């Protein structure tokens, strides 16, 4: 085992002494002292309950937390007796390290991928450190499809409040399935299972000085798995309850990094997505049930105001790559004195595809193009909030399905203009 350039020397030496592992669980963190103990207990209990005979390594890749997060990971003990596990296996090893490289979740994941490669593991999972709804069953649902059914990538399938995950619902899910076919409902869900083979594939990629090292890691993992022919599935995990934000708050950095990574991947895999195809369902595991969800507060007025201000102040930017017909619609909506914004799916999809085309054709610096998307995104979310105000979960899913069909229908437009 040669020396690693990713892992710190002390962690590399510990991994050398461990030799190998069957399962690796990664938890990235940064100042998560309020929630990470629950996550560690759930991971520990899940491994003891469902994989007692296998050798497990838990690695916490921390971003130099100042609130004692690492100490909590080291000292947290799962209440095994409460789960009726009579003989704890004591097969779990915990590693706590600070990751190297660009600050961000992706750099933490890189540490996990490198450790998985060196330990030659069979299966891996990564889970967010701010989860309040994770249970031991999540570990089985993320790992079992890899160990027992031969899948390489397990995406999460959650029940989420209709106003949680708006970047996923309005952009990333419909665009991913339109481009690559697989209907992975939560392509940036944050909690994934994957094979050791796929972990090694990720570890060998040279993307760690890009936005993949930050919020772009989730979509990069998902698209890389699908586009390179790895077997993908999803598992229903129940509710995702974590530290949510009002979609009208400042999500511009996340939007920029996720959409920027998506467009970067479009460049890399254009030969794949330009081929004619139809979207398809992927295998799903887990027992689906109805769950109670915490409300997500939405400041509709703030979103509308930011949308209208953006259309006025960035018109000269938009006019360089968004069609005159779409700009006329946006200007009309922005000038309306009502506090309600209604942006059709057709207009929204053209905006997204024109944004991708502008980046591809280098109309201006990519950063300017993608950051200019933020007020338009807020306008679309404001429109979605108005349209779904009285809708239940099933009706909201139907509404998102309608949006996905428009994305798919407009693929001919994207392909025809992508030179």
Cβ-proximal residues to 148 (8 Å cutoff; 6+ apart), any chain: none
φ, ψ of residue 371 in degrees (nearest 5) = -65, -30
Q: How far is CA 416 from the centre of its chain?
A: 29
Q: What is the pLDDT of residue 8?
A: 86
Which pLDDT tens digit goes with each residue over 347-359? 999 999 999 999 9
Q: Please give the model's pTM, rounded to 2 decimal places.
A: 0.94
CA distance 417 to 232: 30
Burial class of residue 210, CB neighbours in 10 A (0-12, 13-18, 19+): middle
Q: What is the pLDDT of residue 237?
A: 96
Please name each of the domains of the chain with its CATH number: 9-285 (3.90.550.10), 300-417 (no CATH)
Q: What is the pLDDT of residue 245?
A: 58
Paired tokens of 319 = 């006019």
Q: What is the pLDDT of residue 246?
A: 56
Using an 8 Å Cβ cutoff, are 238 and 291 in contact?
A: yes
Whose tokens are 């338009």? That residue is 376
Residues in the chain with pLDDT values less than 50: none
Q: What is the pLDDT of residue 295?
A: 78
Q: Which of 282, 284, 289, 163 is CA-nearest to residue 238?
A: 289
Which pLDDT tens digit goes with each residue over 218-254? 999 999 999 999 999 999 999 888 776 556 565 788 8
Q: What is the pLDDT of residue 402?
A: 98
Using an 8 Å Cβ cutoff, are 35 and 132 in contact?
A: yes
CA distance 178 to 280: 10
In this structure, which long-range contacts are made by residues 206-212, counting pairs with CB atoms below 8 Å and at least 24 apart in sequence?
A: 208/101, 208/102, 208/106, 208/107, 208/110, 209/101, 209/102, 210/261, 210/264, 211/106, 211/256, 211/257, 211/258, 211/260, 211/261, 211/264, 212/106, 212/261
Q: Where are the beta strands (DSSP E) in 77-128?
A: 92-98, 123-126
Q: What is the pLDDT of residue 297?
A: 83
Q: What is the pLDDT of residue 340?
A: 86
Residues in the chain: 419
């Amino acid at each position: 085992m040669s020396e690693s350039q990713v892992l710190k020397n002390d962690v590399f030496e510990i991994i050398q002494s461990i030799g190998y592992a069957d399962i690796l669980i990664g938890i990235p963190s940064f100042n998560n002292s309020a929630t990470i103990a629950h996550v560690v207990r759930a991971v520990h209990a899940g491994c003891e309950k469902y994989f007692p005979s296998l050798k497990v390594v838990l690695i916490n890749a921390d971003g130099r937390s100042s609130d004692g997060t690492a100490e909590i990971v080291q000292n947290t003990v799962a209440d095994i007796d409460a789960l009726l596990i009579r003989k704890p296996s004591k097969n779990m090893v915990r590693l706590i390290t600070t990751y190297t490289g660009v600050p961000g979740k992706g750099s933490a994941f890189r540490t996990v991928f490198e450790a998985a490669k060196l330990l030659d593991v069979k299966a891996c999972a990564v889970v967010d450190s701010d989860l309040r709804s994770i249970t031991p069953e999540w570990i089985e649902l993320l790992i079992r499809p890899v160990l027992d059914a031969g899948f390489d990538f397990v995406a999460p399938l959650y029940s989420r409040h209709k106003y949680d995950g708006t970047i996923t619902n309005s952009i990333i899910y419909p665009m991913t399935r339109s481009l690559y076919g697989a209907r992975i409902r939560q392509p940036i869900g944050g909690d994934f299972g994957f094979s050791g083979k796929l972990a090694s594939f990720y570890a060998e990629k040279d993307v760690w000085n890009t936005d993949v090292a930050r919020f772009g890691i989730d979509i990069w993992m998902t698209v890389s798995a699908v586009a390179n022919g790895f077997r993908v599935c999803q598992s229903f995990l129940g509710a995702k309850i974590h530290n949510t934000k009002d979609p009208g708050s400042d999500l511009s950095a996340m939007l920029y990094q996720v959409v920027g990574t998506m467009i970067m991947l479009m460049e890399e895999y254009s030969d794949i997505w330009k081929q004619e195809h139809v979207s398809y369902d992927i295998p799903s595991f887990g027992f689906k049930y109805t769950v109670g969800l915490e409300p997500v507060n939405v400041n509709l007025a703030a979103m509308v105001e930011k949308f209208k201000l953006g259309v006025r102040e960035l018109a000269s930017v938009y006019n360089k790559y968004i069609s005159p017909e779409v700009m006329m619609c946006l200007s009309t909506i922005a000038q309306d004195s009502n506090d309600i914004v209604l942006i059709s799916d057709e207009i929204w999809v053209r905006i997204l595809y024109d944004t991708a085309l502008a980046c591809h054709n280098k109309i201006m610096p990519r950063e300017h193009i993608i950051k200019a998307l933020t007020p338009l995104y807020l306008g679309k979310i404001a429109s979605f909030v108005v349209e779904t105000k009285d809708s239940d979960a099933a009706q909201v899913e139907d509404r998102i399905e309608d949006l996905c069909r428009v994305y798919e229908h407009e693929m001919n437009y994207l392909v025809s203009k992508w030179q």
